Chains A and B, each alone.
Chain A
Amino acid sequence: MKKWLFCLVFLGAAVACAALVLEHFQPGEHQCRYNRKLYLTHPPLEGADVAELQERLKELGYYPGEITGIYDEATARAVREAQTDLELEPTGEAELWFWPLLYHGEDITQGEKTDPPPGEVHIEIYLDQLKLTVFSDGEEWASFPISPGRPATPSPMGEWRIVEKSYRPNDAFGTRWMRLNVPWGGYGVHGTNAPWSIGRVASLGCIRMYNKDVELIYPWIPIGTRVIITGNYHVQYKLPMREGRVGQDVVMVQWALRKAGFDPGEADGIFDADMTAAVKNLQRTMGLEPTGTVDETVFWLINLP
Chain B
Amino acid sequence: MRKFLAALLAIALISGCSPGKRRPPAVNPRVSLDSQKTYTVEYWDVELPRVWDSQGRYRQAVEELLAEFTAQHPNIRVECRWLDWSQAEAELSKALRDGAPPDIWADWQGLARRDHVLQIPARLWTDADLLNDAGRKAVVHDGEMWAWPRWIWPRGLLALAGSLEEGADWPGFDWEWRQLGEWLEERGLELVVNDWQGEFSRQALAAATGTGRGNWGGQELQEVFAALELLRNKGLVRGDGAYREITQGKIILGGYAPAFVPWLAEKTGEDLVLLPLPGMDGGRVSVPFSAANLIQFRQIQYKGDDHSLAAALLAEFLAMQSSACLAALLWAGPAWAGGAWDGSALPPSFREAATAAVVAGAPLGSIDSQGRAREEQFCAKLGAILEDFWAGRANSQDVAARIAEIQ
CB<8 Å pairs between A and B, sample of 10: A259-B50, A262-B49, A277-B86, A285-B51, A285-B52, A286-B259, A287-B196, A287-B255, A301-B51, A301-B263
Known: A261-B49, A261-B51, A288-B194. A297 touches B243 (CB 8 A): yes
Residues of A within 8 A of B244 (CB): 296-297, 300-301
New A-B contacts (5) at CB < 8 Å, excluding given A277-B86, A301-B244 = A261-B52, A263-B86, A288-B257, A300-B244, A301-B263
User: Per DSSP, are chain B's interface residues mostly helix, strand or loop, or mixed?
Assistant: loop
> Could you say which interface size class chain A belongs to?
20 to 34
Check B199–A287 contact: CB distance below 8 A.
Answer: yes
B residues whose Cβ falls under 8 Å from a Cβ of A: 48-52, 84-86, 194, 196-197, 199, 241-244, 255-257, 259-260, 263, 267, 383
Q: How far is the CA of A296 from the CA of B52 in the complex (A)?
A: 19
Q: How far is the CA of A201 from the CA of B383 in the complex (A)?
A: 52
Contacts between chains A and B (CB distance < 8 A), count: 66
Interface assignment of A91: CB less than 8 Å from any CB of chain B: no
Partner of B51, one of A263, A282, A288, A296: A282
Q: How far is the CA of A35 from the CA of B251 in the complex (A)?
A: 76
Check A301–B243 contact: CB distance below 8 A.
Answer: yes
Partner of B260, one of A259, A277, A286, A289: A286
Interface assignment of A281: CB less than 8 Å from any CB of chain B: yes
Interface assignment of A153: CB less than 8 Å from any CB of chain B: no
Q: How far is the CA of A281 from the CA of B87 in the complex (A)?
A: 10
Q: How far is the CA of A285 from the CA of B255 in the complex (A)?
A: 13
Q: How far is the CA of A297 from the CA of B240 in the complex (A)?
A: 11
Least Cβ distance of A134 to chain B in Å?
29
B51, B197, B241: most-surrounded residue (chain A CB, <10 A): B51
Residues of B within 8 A of A301 (CB): 51, 243-244, 263
Q: How far is the CA of A301 from the CA of B264 in the complex (A)?
A: 9
Q: How far is the CA of A287 from the CA of B258 in the complex (A)?
A: 8
Residues of B within 8 A of A288 (CB): 194, 196, 241, 243, 257
Q: How far is the CA of A289 from the CA of B198 in the complex (A)?
A: 11
Interface assignment of A302: CB less than 8 Å from any CB of chain B: yes
Q: Which residue of A lies closest to B240 (CB)?
A: A297
Check B196–A286 contact: CB distance below 8 A.
Answer: no
Check B243–A281 contact: CB distance below 8 A.
Answer: no
Check A285–B241 contact: CB distance below 8 A.
Answer: no
Residues of A within 8 A of B49 (CB): 260-262, 281-282, 285
Partner of B243, one of A261, A286, A303: A286
Check B86–A303 contact: CB distance below 8 A.
Answer: no
Interface assignment of A250: CB less than 8 Å from any CB of chain B: no
Q: Which residue of B lies closest to A278 (CB)?
A: B86
Check B52–A287 contact: CB distance below 8 A.
Answer: no
Q: Which residue of A lies closest to B50 (CB)?
A: A261
Q: Which residue of B lies closest to A289 (CB)?
A: B196
Check B256–A287 contact: CB distance below 8 A.
Answer: yes
